[in-house]
Amino acid sequence: MVDGDGVRLRLAHLYADVMNVYGDRGNAIALRYRCEARGIALDVDGVGIGEAFDPGNYDLLIVGGGEDREQRRIADDLVARGPAIRSAIEDGLPALAVCGGFQLFGERYIDADGGVLPGIGVFRMETVQPEEGAERAIGNVLLGTGFGEVVGFENHGGRTWLHGREERFGTVIAGRGNNGEDGSEGARVGNAIGTYLHGSLLPKNPAVADFLLEKALKQRYGESAALAPIDDSLEESARRAASAITRRGDGEGLGRRLRGLLRRSG
């Protein structure tokens, strides 16, 4: 177990000045807080378009979400970095990609006009923007995952489809998820997680945050490295409250849909 004395980790936050809808920067803040609570120093480096970046120099990587125009701004730069990022993730680098970042970590994103933004292929998946007027996936989300129940907030129009046997991040209990049809949400490859969940994700889901941090520790200090426990009572209280609100909201929504169907059939 790591006691924190002299322990230091380095986090690359890609495009923090562009990809930051719904406070996705809070994920970096949560990681730093959980490190500081253990006496671990976390250096957070923002990496902007055109700036020098070697993922091999980092222990952890995150990227947030953005609308189509933000995704177009970063797409060429991200694709140029793609081979190095894929290689680092294949070597075990932990990573978190949220919403627009998640889409561009896939193989490609097709917008409503048929335009194609190439992704970097970390996750074997494709995202397609449906025709204008299609319902967006908006609202609170509850997932069943390998980390237990995970809560968050989604707001996306794209439909994401995992290819083959690509592992999902979680299974939808409430909300829409990747596409509203197959019950999948997000993707996982090695120590990398992709998801549509904002909220921000990590402050209310400490098990996910600690998964990323522990993998980062092991990358730098060896497989015997482990995180010391800390008091998660506030985080767990927030997660349980968000879970209860989401369950109630989903039940109320289902009730309204059923009453509407009954009225139309009457």
Segments in 67-202 forming alpha helices (H): 68-90, 100-104
**99 carries an active-site annotation:** yes
DSSP 23: G
Cis peptide before 200 (omega within 30 of 0): yes
**156 carries an active-site annotation:** no
Query: Which residue from 210, 200, 216, 217 is spatially nearest to 232, judged by alpha carbons?
Result: 210
Give the separation between CA 42 and CA 149, rounded to whole angstroms: 27
Name beta bridge partners: 137: 156
Question: Taking the mean position of all CA atoms in its chain, how far away is CA 141?
Answer: 13
Which is the catalytic residue, given 13, 35, 156, 198? 198
Give the separation between CA 236 and CA 230, rounded to whole angstroms: 12
Check: CB of residue 97 under 8 Å from CB of residue 192.
Answer: yes
Which is the catalytic residue, given 13, 35, 99, 156? 99
Give the separation between CA 82 and CA 3, rounded to whole angstroms: 35
Residues acting as catalytic residues: 99, 198
